[in-house]
Amino acid sequence: MGLGESSKDAGLAPSVGQGAGSAKRVRSDDQEGDERINREVKEETPEPDEHYVTFRSDVVGVQYYRGLVGKFEYVSLRRQPENQYDSSAVQVVNTSGIQVGHIPRAVAAKLAFLMDGKVISVEGRMVGQNLDGAKHFKLAIDVSIYGSPRHKETVMQELSWAVKPAPSPPTPSKGKGKGHVLGTGAEVHGSAGSGTGLPTAPVDEEMRRLLDGLKKIGEDEKHADSIMDSLTSDIDVSKLPLHPSPPGIQDGTLKTDLLPHQCQALQWMVSHEHPVLPSKVGEPPVQFWTRQEDKATKSTYWLNAATRSPQKETPLLGRGGIVADGMGLGKTLTVLSLILATKSATKEPSKATLIVCPLSVVSNWEKQIRDHVSLGKLSSYTYHGANREVTNATLHSYDVVITTYQTVASEAPAEVSGGIASSQTKKAKLSNGALFAGPWKRIVADEGHVLKNPRAKMTKAFAALAAERRWICTGTPIVNSPSDLGSLLTCLRLCAPLDKTDYFKALLLRPLRNGDPAAGKLLQALVGQILIRRTKDTKNAAGEPIVQLPPIEFFQVPVQLDEDTRLLYDEVLVTSQRRFQEALSGGQGGTANILSLLTRMRQLCLCQELVPQSFFDELRRKPTEPAGETMAISSMSDEQREGLVEKLRRYVADEEDCSICFLAPLRQPTITDCGHSYCHPCIDEWLNRDLNCPQCRHAITSASLLSLPAETSDFVEPDDNASAVKSAKITELVKYLELFDMGDKTLVFSQFTSFLDHVAATLKQRGILFCRFDGSMPGRKREEVIQTFQNPVTEKNVATNPRVMLISLKSGAVGLNLTTASNVFLCDPWWQSAIEAQAIDRVHRMGQKKPVRVFQLIAEDTIESRVLEIQKHKDALVAKAFEKTSKGSGGSNPQDKRRARFDELKALLLGSSVAEKS
């Protein structure tokens, strides 16, 4: 049972003494799904969550209820306004959802109104216990109150009665722990963490390093790699058992044999689809459940090693997990082999596996089925766009159904999608909501890190899908903070009750934040329990790499800006430096417009045509000259409005940073009448303080802001009218392309789609065949482009086969297999080397036959060479993340991120060393 269940239901649960039931029981989908729906948010918004106070109290009326609790067990405190004797009642409920008793009436009276107003959240941790079979009337409990830092002062006045000399935190024994958690050798020190918010005991050094590393995880995925590697370092994957009879060429199901690491993953996945509880006392826990013996009665019961909660009823186990292998290790074929290996199993509610993935990856799944699965062995259907007019029964008759996250989100029932019935939307009308009509045999979230935000509509929608077995494939299960894992766990419905947001927070996130080493160990144990991870560096039992890849070479190609461009570049640089100096000394305008100047400098490094003349006019305007009248969007002509929308769409496609919060992508992209883009919340807030555009000081009001309509934020058609322009980088690029062997294919990445337009024009002029790929292209078009490009060049097709693919750096890289190419050009370096690494991984992956060459075009004596230094510095930080105790850049909250970005700006513009900052 879960936290969301009523006390009435909870009271009906069997008490101690009733049968333990069978050791293997699997939860059904209907038992879940009480998530409240809020708005979709792209950015991680930290929860208001400061510890206010912890006080000792009692659970009373214990004799009337059946709930059992162990010492240090986390319990849930719930308001019970319908209680006929006391409308302020607060129930105490154990992890299994069974009521243990109430908080004393006098204490409840002081908490109820604050709980009802959602001003505070209240957690309890047992000090007393009732496992001993004795009759208890009351049990001691420590109650902790949390709330927003902003309200602390006011609320604490209401809670002054609770501030007595603090009790010792309910830390279990000081010595080493009791519970053996998992076969990883990790031990839980008593409970998962104090969860009280009180200072904790000194922690052991290794764990401290781990925790420091966790706090520093930034958006850079290399951080994620480091943290994942550290969390899985204890697990020896080389010795995982192989599947005894994997699908392959011999049994006629596959055209390709699995590699050994895939056979290991297959076996691991099969066993995680059929988890079995420990049959004896002393066996390692499964999803944290251990078997225990009640010494007094000699009967056995179950104890959850994470929550310390005991229960008599057989726990329900989730089925599935996370395949977190690094990029290009063949997760797709591994999942297909799982589907084949379990195809004959009967008694399923459905035979179909639903694959949910980003649109850009749909065609990869289709292709891999075509390439690797023998004809007729797996039936598949792509449920997307116009292909949605099929019945639920038809869908479930396929072995594989492929769809996108957006499709799932658009079909989610109203209660999942936050009250706005998705069925009302234009897109949803196309379909009959078949995805949610019945339980699937299995659901798989590919590139599943997109589910890291629990408040996003697509996360809620995926979590609400009914299925027997649930999987997530992602190379980066933790991107920003361990809370990402909580969201994935909710989607997987694994390791209950940690799959519930409030338990995950209470048992893991809060204690982790407080530096509790037991919580760090719990996290490690959790990872060991639910996740398999190997990387290109992983060695097999013989000490050899698990995949053999051709070598990769990196080249830096210096280019000189031509004289004209250099003059313009220097002009912008000098202005940026001056404005930054002004900002440092607290001058007007802050650093808000510096990012846009930086973007202009980066564009000048590519070609001057990317920067409009109006920018230079603004730059040269004397500060006293008026910046022009504000113009309401409503009074603009259609043409002017469309011009602005077009500009904004371009900013979005180029993933420009917001120059107020310094973060990308823009949240609710908004453009001013003067043509500058911001996150809507940022510019809205700015207008409370200042009625001038942060970038050009033009007068603005809320009427002169234009936001991008949701549907139009997608695809930006390449500009076929762009002309071939003078650009040192394009010249250099073409020089190489013309030198390469006709059989060699090349990927050209840039963050600026408008630059790719100019490259395209030159390639046309020089007769070099190319194609374009953009992450936001409509599905069919994208598929066509990839298929055409993946065709190797032969004598016959040399006149029509594209040798070059122009691809946008940020939106085009995820999940693509482009192994026909062996050259990669990175036209504009930026902060996150991990995004570039992901781009390179499209080519340097299984299936690559040739040595790979990566060329980085760097404009000499510009910010680009400094960007490289910053990249190097960031990577060094990552490497040191687990060894350092200082506060490096890239903290997990927005303030830290902004601070880090500010330091990087300083390093770029003024040449100070970012290394000094860390």
Angular region, 642: left φ>0, alpha ψ -120 to 50, beta rest = alpha
- Compute the distance between CA of residue 372 and CA of residue 384 in angstroms, rounded to an integer: 23
Contact between 845 and ligand ATP by CB under 6 A: the answer reads: yes
Name which of 159 and 532 has its Cβ closer to ligand ATP: 532
Both tokens of 329, joined, read 């290790």
Contact between 698 and ligand ATP by CB under 6 A: the answer reads: no
Which of 78-86, 223-231, 303-311, 839-847 is the region at the interface with ligand ATP (rule: CB under 6 A)?
839-847
User: What's the closest the beta carbon of residue 262 comes to ligand ATP, in angstroms?
Assistant: 6
User: What's the closest the beta carbon of residue 354 comes to ligand ATP, in angstroms?
Assistant: 17
Q: State the angle between helix axes of 483-492 and 517-530 in degrees (0 to 180), rounded to the nearest 10.
A: 40
User: What's the closest the beta carbon of residue 312 comes to ligand ATP, in angstroms?
Assistant: 43
- The alpha carbon of residue 859 and the mean position of all alpha carbons in its chain are separated, in whole angstroms, by 33
Restricting to residues 888-907, which ones interact with ligand ATP according to CB under 6 A?
Answer: none
- Compute the distance between CA of residue 245 and CA of residue 250 in angstroms, rounded to an integer: 10
Name which of 606 and 824 has its Cβ closer to ligand ATP: 824
Exactly one of 225, 325, 484, 499 binds ligand ATP (CB under 6 A); that residue is 325
Name which of 371 and 415 has its Cβ closer to ligand ATP: 371
Per the listing, tokens 């980085």 go with 856
Task: Pick the closest to residue 21 from 298, 280, 316, 314 (CA basis).
Answer: 314
Name which of 464 and 473 has its Cβ closer to ligand ATP: 473
First to last CA, the chain: 47
User: What's the closest the beta carbon of residue 245 comes to ligand ATP, in angstroms?
Assistant: 16
From residue 11, give the alpha-carbon distance in Å to each of 59, 169, 476, 478.
16, 30, 41, 38
Exactly one of 454, 675, 815, 891 binds ligand ATP (CB under 6 A); that residue is 815
Which of 31-39, 53-61, 242-250, 252-260 is the region at the interface with ligand ATP (rule: CB under 6 A)?
252-260
User: What's the closest the beta carbon of residue 330 comes to ligand ATP, in angstroms?
Assistant: 3
Residue count, binding to ligand ATP (CB under 6 A): 21
Which of 129-137, 245-253, 327-335, 799-807 is the region at the interface with ligand ATP (rule: CB under 6 A)?
327-335
Exactly one of 90, 258, 807, 905 binds ligand ATP (CB under 6 A); that residue is 258
Which of 115-123, 224-232, 323-331, 719-727 is the region at the interface with ligand ATP (rule: CB under 6 A)?
323-331
Q: Count how many residues are written for the chain.
A: 918
Which of 340-348, 574-582, 777-785, 844-852 is the region at the interface with ligand ATP (rule: CB under 6 A)?
844-852
Per the listing, tokens 């570039």 go with 836
Restricting to residues 329-388, which ones interact with ligand ATP according to CB under 6 A?
Answer: 329-333, 368, 371
What secondary structure does DSSP assign to 776-789, as a single string?
TS-HHHHHHHHHHH
Whether residue 125 contacts residue 104, with contact meaning beta carbons closer than 8 Å, is answered with: no
Exactly one of 327, 352, 597, 786 binds ligand ATP (CB under 6 A); that residue is 327
Name which of 191 and 817 has its Cβ closer to ligand ATP: 817
What residues have CB less than 8 Å from 502, skipping those under 6 apart? 3, 76, 121
From residue 839, give the alpha-carbon distance in Å to each of 358, 538, 747, 810.
16, 21, 9, 9
- Compute the distance between CA of residue 97 and CA of residue 88 in angstroms, rounded to an integer: 20
Name which of 256 and 529 has its Cβ closer to ligand ATP: 256
Q: Where are the alpha helices (DSSP H) in 725-778?
A: 728-739, 753-766
Q: Where are the alpha helices (DSSP H) in 51-203?
A: 105-116, 152-158
- Compute the distance between CA of residue 420 and CA of residue 828 in angstroms, rounded to an integer: 41
What residues have CB less than 8 Å from 82, skipping those under 6 apart? none
Task: Pick the closest to residue 503 from 8, 197, 45, 124 (CA basis).
Answer: 124
Exactly one of 7, 608, 750, 817 binds ligand ATP (CB under 6 A); that residue is 817
Which of 417-425, 561-569, 756-764, 843-851 is the region at the interface with ligand ATP (rule: CB under 6 A)?
843-851
User: What's the closest the beta carbon of residue 336 comes to ligand ATP, in angstroms?
Assistant: 9
Name which of 311 and 822 has its Cβ closer to ligand ATP: 822
Name which of 359 and 679 has its Cβ closer to ligand ATP: 359
Exactly one of 169, 328, 888, 890 binds ligand ATP (CB under 6 A); that residue is 328
372 φ, ψ (degrees, to nearest 5): -110, -25
Chain contacts with ligand ATP (rule: CB under 6 A): 256, 258-259, 262, 325, 327-333, 368, 371, 475, 815, 817, 819, 845-847
